[in-house]
Amino acid sequence: MKIKCIILLLISVLLTGCFGLFDSGTKRITGKYIVVWIDLPRNQGIAEEIEEHSGSSIGIVPEYVFAVGHNENYIIAKQHPTSGFENGFIIDTTITNYYIVDMKAQKNKVIGPLTNSKFDSSRIDLKIQNIEFDMIFKENP
């Protein structure tokens, strides 16, 4: 009986410990589009959910996204690239990339990475100069 109690206690401690290792966060931009990170805030990117509020999504703008804005047709984002999974997602704040997501497009939704000047000219071409970055996150969490 003591052995069963010890085994049960060990299993419950292990399960509790394993579930405590993983963390994540999401913030809805609009509709099926979310800002999401898993395990580390510095791997935050933009994803499109398979179905709204489904919990399943596909990444469309890579980490680290630190500013987002949108209207009914487009999402804009500022991103600092990272060193990737293998190198611990170290954020390079010396580089800022810009992205435009066309939410109405079926293919080629994402325009970017863009430089600041290319981003500004693309916004003029798409007539989306009035979108502000209204979701702001730390530039280096």
Long-range pairs for 43-48: beta carbons < 8 A, 24 or more residues apart: 43/82, 43/85, 43/89, 44/137, 44/141, 45/79, 46/75, 46/77, 46/99, 46/101, 48/109
pLDDT tens digit string along 95-117?
Answer: 999 999 999 999 999 999 999 99
Q: How far apart are CA 76 and CA 96, in angstroms?
A: 13
Whether this model's pTM surpasses 0.85:
no
| Beta-strand pair 33-38/24-30 | antiparallel
pLDDT tens digit string along 31-86?
Answer: 999 999 998 899 999 999 998 777 789 999 999 999 999 999 999 999 999 998 88
Q: Are 24 and 79 in contact (CB under 8 A)?
A: no
